[in-house]
């Protein structure tokens, strides 16, 4: 599985969080990961571990997103866009193996595939502001 495919699965798991109670999340993750076609165990471990790390930082990620998104509260953002940006912000701020430019590019590409017509530019604009804020 490519890293982009792993990111897409992570985006789906983050998206699912918006629709399930906290006590259901673990079961939903297991169900989703059990139904990926022909996964490698390394990929499943990577997705599971990264999902847990992102979940631990969601409050911080959401605060950062709200700081840079003028007039947009996290609760008002499209859930697909929000899920994509949460993943990208985690990679930009907390994953030292992934360059900021790669995290932004991957987020924009995923937004093109899963989001609305305006999603790629929205995601790119917000993440550019996040990148600037992180550099400060």
Q: Which domains does the chain have, with CATH numbers?
A: 3-135 (1.10.940.10)
> What is the tens place of the pLDDT at every residue in 114-127?
999 999 999 999 99
pTM, 2 dp: 0.88
Alpha carbon distance 70, 72 (integer Å): 6
- Quickly list DSSP for 16-30: HHTTS-HHHHHHHHH
Longest CA–CA span in the chain (Å) reads 43
> What is the tens place of the pLDDT at every residue in 50-106?
999 999 999 999 999 999 998 788 888 999 999 999 999 999 999 999 999 999 999
**Which is more confident, 116 or 20?**
116
The answer to whether 119 and 111 are in contact (CB under 8 A) is yes
Alpha carbon distance 72, 67 (integer Å): 9
Candidates 49, 52, 37; CA nearest to 5 is 37
39 has a pLDDT exceeding 80: no
């Amino acid at each position: 599985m490519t890293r982009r495919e792993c990111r897409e699965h992570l985006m789906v798991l983050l998206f699912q969080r918006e629709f399930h109670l906290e006590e259901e999340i673990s079961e939903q993750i297991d169900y989703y990961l059990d139904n990926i076609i022909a996964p490698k165990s390394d990929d499943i471990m990577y997705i599971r571990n990264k999902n847990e790390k992102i979940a631990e930082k969601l409050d911080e990620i959401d605060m950062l997103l709200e700081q840079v998104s003028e007039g947009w509260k996290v609760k008002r953002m499209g859930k697909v866009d929000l899920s994509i940006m949460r993943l990208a912000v985690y990679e930009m701020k907390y994953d030292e193996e992934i360059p900021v430019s790669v995290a932004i590019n991957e987020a924009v590409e995923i937004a093109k595939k899963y989001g609305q017509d305006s999603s790629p530019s929205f995601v790119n604009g917000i993440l550019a502001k996040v990148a600037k804020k992180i550099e400060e």
